[in-house]
């Protein structure tokens, strides 16, 4: 934790070409003993300081800055107005619990049909008097991700009426089995392997896409049997996964509840008492929850200046361009995780995040080992990856007409959020850096590229400290116990 600074915010970043360092301006709260006599103006409660870095790594994410919907009269509403993301990080669940404890007699409007709305509606259904879910578009609600595999691993009958495939609560027997290290490793491995097997379903007209479409169509029709008319407004014409696919446990069932109205008529505006629709209908509401998403543009909310005074905002307009989703030209010594084209249509995002971090670590080691001033991907390599992106996505369901944050919230256009391939493809692609796609800058005054060889000694020898036989350690000797005889035989035979 000594290296982690909480409540600190970068407000400006600039690459300094003479020194090859990033200059950062950072805002932080004042020390605990400082009190303010009156509420401060914007930014007054904070102090700013400068810092520098040899390598800058960002992991700000694509779904980190929420925004209000562009609906007339939004601020005229006299009831409670919420955005699903508008709670302090870390207190989210607690804040919601405190907010809804007295909602049992309230009429609640939920705007949206993305993953947030799909979670909010069933969570509130039994706790409020009425919910009206305002839905502009259509979306696929899937069966549980890896539900059959989960049931198999947890030794449950997938056909049983009470087996949904979700494991919200583990039985005591489950917990005992998971204490077995070998069982847990197998459980995790098989579940993730199953999750990494669905990529073919994202390809247009594939057998897997057709099978998924048929299965989810039947699933949705079955769950909406009590209000079958909803299916006409909710089940899409576009392919499965064109929008982010959500299993949404309980959502379809909640829509069929007596106290939930599904409202597909578009919103005209918000009044002081509720929501007015384009057909003139008015829904009186006590509470409005906007589950309307984030800023998907990948335009950072602070100036970031690269070579020649060009900002990343200028560089990434009208859309971002990167090299393998880890860096871009014109911004030396800057690498990223969860930047443009870093998300996944299927598979585990965690492993990709880890690999992106490891990629940046490999770069940092190279800079340090070879005493480089800067490392920067070439413009040509960025252009080639851009060309690959443009040729890949038309073959996928992501290019179909559907409003998605994958395409910066648009129905059609460039896919800026997703990796052009599967999770496993992404992990393999950045496993080993292609150093030939970069150009390197030596420190000022250094002409010989071999200057990094120093004086012919390592630090351990020079100071007589540390391990001076590290090459015999287990992590260096990549030969398992008992394999020496096999190795020697193979050498003699060859």
What are 332's two structure tokens? 């030396």
HSE-CB at 117 with a 13 A cutoff on CA atoms is 27
Place of tokens 């409003």: 403
Report residue 89 CA to chain centroid gap: 16
Question: What's the pLDDT tens digit per position in 192-215?
Answer: 998 899 999 999 999 999 999 999
Count CB neighbours of 333 within 10 A: 23
Query: Is residue 40 over pLDDT 80?
Result: no
Answer for the pair 148, 158: CB distance below 8 angstroms, yes or no: yes
322 close to 340: Cβ distance less than 8 angstroms: yes
Phi, psi of 387 (to 5 degrees): -65, -35
Higher pLDDT, 17 or 31: 17
Phi, psi of 377 (to 5 degrees): -65, 150
Domain residue ranges in the chain:
9-63+297-441
- Cis-peptide, bond into residue 210, ω within 30° of zero: no
**Is it the case that residue 87 has pLDDT exceeding 70?**
no
Please tell me the distance from the alpha carbon of residue 160 to that of residue 381, in angstroms, as a whole number: 53
Q: Which residue has the higher pLDDT, 478 or 94?
A: 478
| 47 φ/ψ angles, rounded to the nearest 5 degrees | -120, 150
146-155 mean pLDDT: 72
pLDDT for 21: 97
pLDDT in tens, 63-79: 888 889 999 999 999 99
pTM above 0.85, yes or no: yes
What is the arithmetic mean of pLDDT over 427-454? Answer: 95
Cα separation, 15 vs 308, whole angstroms: 9
In contact, 302 and 23? CB cutoff 8 Å: no
> CA 354, CA 196: separation in Å to the nearest integer?
16
Tell me what percent of the residues of the chain surpass a pLDDT of 90.
Answer: 74
pLDDT for residue 489: 45
Which residues sit opposite 387 in a β-bridge? Answer: none
Whole-angstrom distance, CA of residue 455 vs CA of residue 366 = 19
CA 379/CA 384 separation, integer angstroms = 9
Q: Is 261 left (phi over 0), alpha (psi -120 to 50) or beta?
A: beta
* DSSP string for residues in 364-429: HHHHHHTT-SEEEE-HHHHHHHHHHHHHHGGGBGGGSS--BGGGTTBSSS---SB-SS-HHHHHHH
Residues contacting 349, CB < 8 A, separation 6+:
343, 423
**Pairwise CA distance, residues 247 & 249, whole Å:** 6
Q: Which stretch of 153-167, 345-359, 466-480 has the lowest confidence by average pLDDT?
A: 153-167
Residue 239, Cβ neighbours under 10 Å: how many?
24
280, pLDDT greater than 70 = yes
- Dihedral angle over CA of 321, 322, 323, 325, nearest 10: -130
Q: Name the residue among 111, 138, 133, 136 with its Cα closest to residue 260.
A: 133
Backbone angles phi, psi at 332, to 5 degrees: -60, 155
Per-residue confidence band for 404, with pLDDT thresholds at 50, 70 and 90: very high
Q: What is the pLDDT of residue 89?
A: 42
Tell me phi and psi for residue 66, to 5 degrees.
Answer: -80, 160
Per DSSP, 468 falls in state: S
Q: What is the mean pLDDT of residues 386-412?
A: 95
The predicted-structure confidence for 178-189, as pLDDT tens digits, reads as follows 899 999 999 899
Number of H helices, E strands in the chain: 14, 16
Q: What share of the chain is helix, strand, coil (3-state, %, to 5)?
A: 35, 15, 50
Q: For residue 157, what pLDDT is reported? A: 64
| Res. 119: pLDDT tops 60 | yes
**Between 95 and 248, residue with greater pLDDT:** 248
Quick one: which of 219, 212, 185, 214 has its CA closest to 345? Answer: 212
Taking the C-alpha atoms of residue 190 and residue 90, their distance in angstroms, rounded to an integer, is 31
Average pLDDT, the chain: 89
**Fold classification of 9-63+297-441 (topology level):** FAD/NAD(P)-binding domain (3.50.50)
pLDDT number for residue 160 = 53
d(CA 138, CA 126): 24
pLDDT score for 143: 84
Q: Is pLDDT above 90 for 96? A: no
Residue 343 phi, psi dihedral angles, 5° rounding: -80, 170
DSSP string, 181-197: HHHHHHHHHHHHHHHTT
Q: What per-residue confidence (pLDDT) applies to 26?
A: 96
């Amino acid at each position: 934790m000594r290296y982690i600074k909480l409540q600190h915010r970068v407000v400006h970043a600039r690459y300094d070409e003479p020194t090859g360092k990033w200059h950062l301006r950072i805002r932080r709260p004042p020390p605990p003993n400082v009190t303010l006599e009156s509420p401060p103006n914007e930014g007054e409660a904070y102090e700013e300081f400068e810092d520098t870095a040899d390598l800058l790594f960002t992991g700000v994410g694509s779904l980190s800055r929420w925004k209000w919907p562009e609906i007339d009269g939004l601020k005229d509403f006299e009831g409670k107005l919420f955005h699903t993301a508008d709670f302090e990080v870390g207190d989210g669940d607690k804040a919601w619990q405190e907010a809804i404890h007295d909602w049992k007699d309230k009429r609640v409007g939920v705007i949206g049909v993305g993953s947030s709305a799909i979670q909010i509606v069933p969570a509130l259904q039994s706790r409020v008097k009425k919910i009206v879910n305002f839905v502009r578009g259509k979306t696929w609600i899937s069966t549980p991700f890896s539900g059959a595999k989960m049931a198999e691993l947890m030794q449950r009958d997938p056909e049983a009426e009470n087996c949904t495939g979700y494991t919200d609560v583990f039985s005591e027997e489950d917990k005992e089995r998971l204490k077995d290290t070998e069982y847990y490793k197998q459980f995790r491995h098989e579940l993730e392997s199953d999750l990494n097997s669905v990529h073919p379903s994202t390809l247009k007209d594939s057998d897997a896409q057709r099978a998924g479409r048929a299965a989810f169509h039947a699933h949705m029709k079955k769950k909406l049997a009590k209000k079958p008319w909803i299916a006409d407004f909710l089940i899409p014409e576009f392919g499965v996964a064109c929008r982010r696919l959500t299993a949404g446990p309980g959502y379809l069932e909640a829509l069929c509840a007596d106290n939930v109205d599904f409202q597909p008529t578009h919103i005209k505006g918000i009044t002081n008492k509720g929501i007015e629709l384009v057909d003139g209908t008015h829904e009186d509401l006590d509470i409005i929850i906007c589950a309307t998403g984030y800023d998907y543009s990948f335009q950072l909310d602070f100036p970031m200046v690269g070579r020649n005074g060009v900002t990343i905002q200028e560089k990434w307009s009208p859309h971002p361009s990167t090299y393998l989703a880890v860096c871009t030209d014109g911004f030396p010594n800057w690498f990223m995780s969860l930047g443009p084209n870093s998300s996944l249509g299927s598979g585990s995002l965690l492993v990709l995040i880890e690999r992106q971090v490891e990629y940046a670590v490999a770069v940092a080691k190279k800079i340090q080992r070879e005493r480089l001033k800067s490392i920067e991907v070439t413009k040509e390599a960025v252009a080639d990856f851009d060309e690959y992106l443009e040729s890949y996505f038309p073959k996928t369901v992501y290019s179909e007409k559907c409003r998605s944050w994958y395409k910066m919230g648009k129905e059609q256009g460039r896919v800026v959020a997703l990796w052009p391939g599967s999770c496993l493809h992404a992990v393999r692609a950045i496993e080993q850096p292609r150093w030939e796609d970069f150009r390197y800058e030596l420190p000022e005054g250094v002409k010989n590229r071999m200057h990094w060889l120093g004086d012919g000694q390592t630090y351990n020898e020079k100071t007589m400290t540390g391990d001076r036989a590290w090459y015999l350690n287990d992590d260096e000797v990549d030969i398992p116990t008992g394999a020496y005889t096999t190795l020697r035989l193979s050498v003699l035979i060859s």
